[in-house]
Structure 1
Amino acid sequence: MKANSHARHIVKAITWRILGTLDTILLSWIITGSALTGLKIGFAEVITKMILYYLHERVWFKINLSKGGVVLESRKRHIAKTFTWRAVGTTDTMIISWIISGNPFIGLKIGFAELITKMILYYLHERAWYKIDFGLERRRLRKAKHQTNE
């Protein structure tokens, strides 16, 4: 179970980072008016965000709200994860945007614009991953057992 959950969290981190980076590049480009600045900001945060996202996933995995060893997922949990991740992610984006642009207000503008787009994208990402059994051996076995009993 442990190795599977680590693999799941790594793959979730990668898929989220691709989606999140594309969003950051687009928002940064629109706000700064410079595609190059948008690319710099988007690519600068790839490493920090992947590390932060992986750590966020591990913390939420430890807050496991389980029943019989099976992690229970719910819309409320996904919403809570959305808000906690957004706080971490937005802070990181604001700092990186400020450093690259040299303007703290650019960092704030990009961070605030992300609040809406990233929360919607993250919630949808969480819901999609909830439907995927990759890395959740017990849930996959439970589903298989349920299907054979029908």
Structure 2
Amino acid sequence: MRDNSHKRHILKAISWRLVGSIDTMLVSWFISGDPMIGLKVGFSEVATKMLLYYLHERVWYKINLSKDKVLRESRKRHLAKTVTWRMVGTIDTMILAWIISGDPMTGLKIGFSEVATKMILYYIHERVWYKVKYGLPKKTEEEASAYE
């Protein structure tokens, strides 16, 4: 059977980046008061976040293949993925916002403001993708019910 997990993770990265970039643009605009800073921060992070998100997905895919049932349980796993991704994403946003605005405090404010919005949005994104089976190996009924 062919492994479509790479395609799945690319599609997840693209869908998350759309949601995440819109949120970043709005938060950056609100914090800085300048719509151009919002656009610059939002567009500049597309490349960095796509790469970082793809790598994050690959790591978590490998963890999901483990025999440890605690790491495979969906809600706990999605919560752990949410926290680890938010840490990576916040650091990236802070650095980019600092460079673009020229003010480290603006970078910190934008990064910390996004923590709540992004964690909520990411958790919802993970739950939606959990329902999408594209790119996942077929499971027996017993395996599927154990993962719920």
Q: TM-score, normalised by structure 2?
A: 0.88
Q: Could you tell me whether the CA contact under 8 Å between 2:3 and 2:137 is conserved in 1?
A: no
Q: Deviations over 1:61-116 (max 9, x none)?
A: 1112556xxx9441000000000000000000000000000000000000010000
- In structure 2, distance between residues paired with 1:20 and 1:48: 12
Cα distance per residue 1:5-43 (max 9 Å; x no partner): 000000000000000000000000101111111000000
Does residue 1:99 correspond to 2:85, yes or no?
A: no
Q: Secondary structure at the match of 2:3?
A: helix
Matched length: 139
Match of 1:88 in 2: 88
1:1-150 matched pairs, under 5 angstroms: 3-66=3-66, 72-139=72-139, 142=140
- In structure 1, how many angstroms separate the alpha carbons of the residues matched to 2:45 and 2:15? 15
SS, match of residue 132 in structure 2: coil
Is the Cα contact below 8 Å between 1:9 and 1:54 reproduced in 2? Answer: yes
* Matched letter for residue 92 of structure 2: D
Counterpart secondary structure, 2:64: coil
**TM-score for both structures, normalised by structure 1:** 0.87
CA RMSD of aligned residues (A): 1.8
> Structure 1 30/2 Cα, relative in aligned 2: closer, same or farther at 3 Å?
farther
| In 1, Cα distance between equivalents of 2:20 and 2:77 | 20
Q: Is the 8 A contact 1:73 1:130 kept in 2?
A: no
Return 5+ residue gaps in structure 2 as ranges.
none
SS of corresponding position for 1:138: coil
Which structure's CA Rg is the greater one? 1
Structure 1 residues 22 and 58: alpha-carbon distance in aligned structure 2, compared to 1, 3 A threshold: same
Structure 1 consecutive aligned stretches of length 4 or more whose deviation exceeds 3 Å: none
Q: Which runs of 5+ in 1 are unaligned?
A: none
State the AA in 1 paired with 2:118.
K
Q: Which amino acid aligns with 2:130?
A: Y
Identity of aligned residues (%): 66
**Hey, what's the Cα distance between the residues in 2 that align with 1:2 and 1:19?**
29
Q: Hey, what's the Cα distance between the residues in 1 that align with 2:124 and 2:73?
A: 14
